[in-house]
Amino acid sequence: MHTRLTWICHGPTSAGRNGRFPLDEPLEESAVAETRAIAGRLQRADRVLTSPALRARQTAEALSLGSLPDPLLADCDYGRWGGVAIADLQMQEPENLLAWMSDPESAPHGGENIRQLAGRAAQSMETQSILGGHVIAVSHAALIRAAILNVLQAPLSSFWLADIEPLSILRMTHNGRRWALRFGD
């Protein structure tokens, strides 16, 4: 069964602009207009799923996409680091931050590690490949990054090598046997 999966990273938030691990926060006020501007780049979908997070749901709404929340599309659980500036962690817990960024099994913040996040991304993609058709998934940079690793069959140590900007659109296809990245419209 053929599947097209269009990932959309949620719009800009104050946490992203200020280098903080996110909480369940809304989009920035200016993000709604920015989000509407990309709507023309989207094709009709058979299903639209979104992370349960407010910022992802607001992105889908600004794109006029009726969506269903899917817990598999949730952002990484940053545990006690939620709302904390990365710069502050570099000063207060440099060894913990380094451990989390260099060891996919590490979760010094008490939340989710990168391996668990990647497992959720792979599970979501597997479900969509079984259902087939075109699905739009509004999610988060971390989950989309994990999905890229899944397609490329890259080691989890590569997680930090892809930057996903707010409102990025990434397309993937599944031909019944394997996933592939798709560039162009």
Average pLDDT of adjacent 10-residue blocks, the chain of 185 residues: 96 94 93 89 94 97 94 98 96 96 96 98 97 97 98 96 96 96 84
Q: According to the model, what pLDDT value does residue 111 have?
A: 96
| Predicted pLDDT of residue 101 | 94
Per-residue confidence (pLDDT) for residue 1, from 0 to 100: 81
Find the domain containing 62 and state its range: 3-182
pLDDT at 28: 94
- Please report how the helices 141-152 and 114-131 are oriented relative to each other, as an axis angle in degrees rounded to 10: 70
Residues with Cβ within 8 Å of 9's Cβ and at least 6 positions away in sequence, in order, are 139, 140, 141, 144, 164, 165, 166, 167, 168, 170
Give me the number of domains the chain comprises.
1
User: What's the pLDDT score for residue 184?
Assistant: 78
pLDDT of the residue at 185: 63
CATH code of residue 167: 3.40.50.1240
Q: What is the pLDDT of residue 40?
A: 87
| pTM for the whole structure | 0.95
